[in-house]
Amino acid sequence: MLTPKKQRKKRESYRFAPPFPGSLPLSLYRLFFQLKRRVFNKVKTQQAMIFTTPHCFFSCSTSLPFSLSKKPSFFLSKKPRLSTWVSSRIRSSSLCTASLITSPDSFEVGRLIGSYGFMNVTSYSGFQSGADLEFSSGDLGQLRVQDVGEGSVKIRLYEGRIAQGPFKGTPVIFKVYPGQRAAGIEADMMAANELNAHAFLQSSSEGISKNLLLLLGGFETKTGEQWLAFRDNGKYSAADFAKATSEKISRARSLQEKPWNPFEQEQAFKRRTYFVIRLFQGAMNGLAYMHNHERLHQSLGPASVILNTIVERDAVYLVPKLRDLAFSVDISFSSLEEGPSTFSEDLWRRASSAGAFTPMERRSFGIADDIYEAGLLFAYLAFVPFCEAGIMDGFSLQRLLESTFKLDVMATREYCLADDRLLEAVKFLDLGDAAGWELLQAMLNPDFRKRPIAEAVANHRFLTANVL
């Protein structure tokens, strides 16, 4: 849930955890401590970078003097978007086990496929308790409760492939962070944290989840740009699917095209329902994997789920993958006991406001916060692909649920029933004796203690039973 955020300076402590003895060759162990001195020097001048060795990435477990407003869950982008985060506690020993490719000569760069930024919420008025609020269809699309500004970091995306080695020919997507001259310390911090989150999750002895995007490597250019290489598992996102589907509905209705066979119309609804259910269940499986490995996502939205297809007839082959691990937060108890990092500071402030003070309570709050964002994603997938283009969007839907109906999902349903343009979305959530509304209400429960965990969401009857 969005809350007020204020930029402020704060004194930070700088910690640097050495690798475990014997985990690195002696030469790399020495290099680690050389990097330590370099990092402290850069911290003094508010600079940071990703350090590389011939075989693995190194980074430091520092809390850097930087504050960034947490962005909303929903992003508006014409291209696939990847937002990122920088964890302030990076486990260097785990990074080395990831075997990331770090030589620029190992890659070939192709065409530019897009660029994007991220959005900062600079103010939020919140709920007006006790106020008599009215909401009409004319209010849809009008964002009055938030001031949103574009962040300073502009990301570029390139196609490419691995040019040498055992993985030669593997297609990749390069995510390019600008250098410090263009974006300051923020870009380097975000790149380092995204690197850390992926490398840590990929170093698990249980193997990487099929529902998480795979980081293959990266490098730094002479101009200070950070290039992260991800396996190319698709260039579409859940937001792209929703946009394409809603536009398809609009075209059909503008031409007054109606299937001559009612059976075909019902089959089209079933195909879309099956696709959306598989999409959301895959995203929740990826989130459950992250939570089970002590990581929060903290940036979940329709643009944060990458798809290998947006063709509804190919739903059986659909493999959703989570990206946008840039604002991921370490919720291991050792990290919680050390105190907040730069990017978790706002999360733990909100946790304290909600009455979560102990490490166990804060961990539960963080997981519930991810579930809330996943609930907004579920609402987005339930409405936007089932409505005409422009009828509903992420911001309008969030305002409808939060500000107008105070998270009373069944009251929202009654409102939607009165609008013919939203009936298909209501029909979708009504499946399985209103199982969709039941799941949505649980995920958006105002009491964070009553929200389900990600694994329970993935196994909910709306996603597992034959609701069709």
Q: In the chain, what are the domains?
A: 26-34+48-123+149-231 (3.30.200.20), 236-464 (1.10.510.10)
Q: What is the pLDDT of residue 456?
A: 98
Does 46 have pLDDT greater than 80?
no
Q: What pLDDT does residue 100 have?
A: 87
- Looking at 184-341, list the stretches that DSSP marks H as alpha helix, in order from N- to C-terminal side: 185-202, 238-254, 262-292, 333-338
Contact indicator for 419, 148 with CB cutoff of 8 Å: no
Q: Give the pLDDT confidence of 267-298 residue by residue, as tens digits.
A: 999 999 999 999 999 999 999 999 999 999 99
Q: Is the pLDDT of residue 423 over 60?
A: yes
Residue 140, pLDDT > 80, answer: no
Q: Which of 389, 434, 437, 445 is nearest to 412 (CA)?
A: 437
What is the pLDDT at residue 17?
41
Provide mean pLDDT across the span 178-196.
Answer: 83
**Range scoring the smallest mean pLDDT among 3-12, 91-100, 105-114, 341-350:** 3-12
More confident residue, 376 or 131: 376
What mean pLDDT, rounded, does the chain reach? 78
Task: Look at 72-81, 266-275, 404-413 and tell me which has the smallest mean pLDDT.
Answer: 72-81
Q: Band of the pLDDT at 120, cuts 50, 70, 90?
A: low
pLDDT of residue 139: 42
Residue 32 has pLDDT above 50, yes or no: no
d(CA 293, CA 299): 17
Percent of the chain with pLDDT over 90: 56
For 280, list phi and psi in degrees, rounded to 5.
-70, -40
- CA 117, CA 97: separation in Å to the nearest integer? 31
Give the model's confidence band at 134: pLDDT under 50 very low, under 70 low, under 90 confident, else very high.
Answer: very low
- Quick check: 79 pLDDT over 90? no
Could you say which DSSP state residue 129 is in? T
Q: Tell me: pLDDT of 249 over 90.
A: yes
* Mean pLDDT of all residues in 354-374: 97
**Burial, 145: exposed, middle or buried (Cβ in 10 Å; 0-12, 13-18, 19+)?**
middle
What's the confidence (pLDDT) of residue 413?
98
Write down the pLDDT at residue 119: 58
Mean pLDDT of 18-42: 42
Q: Is the pLDDT of residue 426 over 80?
A: yes
Query: Using CA atoms, how far apart are residues 283 and 306, in angstroms rounded to an integer?
Result: 9
Secondary structure of residue 366 in the 3-state scheme: helix
pLDDT at 433 over 90: yes
With beta carbons less than 8 A apart as the criterion, state whether 9 and 65 touch. yes
Residue with tokens 């946009």: 243
* pLDDT at 142 > cutoff 60: no
In tens, the pLDDT along 295-332 reads 999 999 999 999 999 999 999 999 999 998 988 999 99
